[in-house]
Structure 1
Amino acid sequence: MKEYFYKSYDELPLTLSVQEIAIVLGISKTSAYELVRRKGFPVLKIGSRLVVPKEKFREWVAKNTGGSI
Structure 2
Amino acid sequence: MTTPPDTTTAKPRELLKVEAAAKRLSVGRTTMFNLIKAGHIETVQVGRLRRVPDTAITDYIAKLTAAQHAA
Which bracket does the TM-score occupy, shorter chain normalised? 0.5 to 0.7
**CA-to-aligned-CA distance 1:36-67 (integer Å, 9 cap, x gap):** 22224211122332111112321222122218
* Aligned-residue CA RMSD (Å): 2.4
Q: 5+ unaligned residues in a row in structure 1: which ranges?
A: 1-9
Partner in structure 2 of residue 46 of structure 1? 46
User: Aligned equivalents of 1:33 and 1:24: distance in 2?
Assistant: 14
Query: What's 1:57 paired with?
Result: 57
Mean alpha-carbon deviation: is it higher for 11-20 or for 26-35? 11-20
In structure 2, how many angstroms separate the alpha carbons of the residues matched to 1:59 and 1:46?
21
Match of 1:13 in 2: 13
1:43 and 1:50 in contact (8 A); partners too: yes
Number of matched pairs: 58
1:28 Cα deviation from its structure 2 partner: 0.9
* Max Rg structure: 2
AA at the equivalent of 1:46:
V
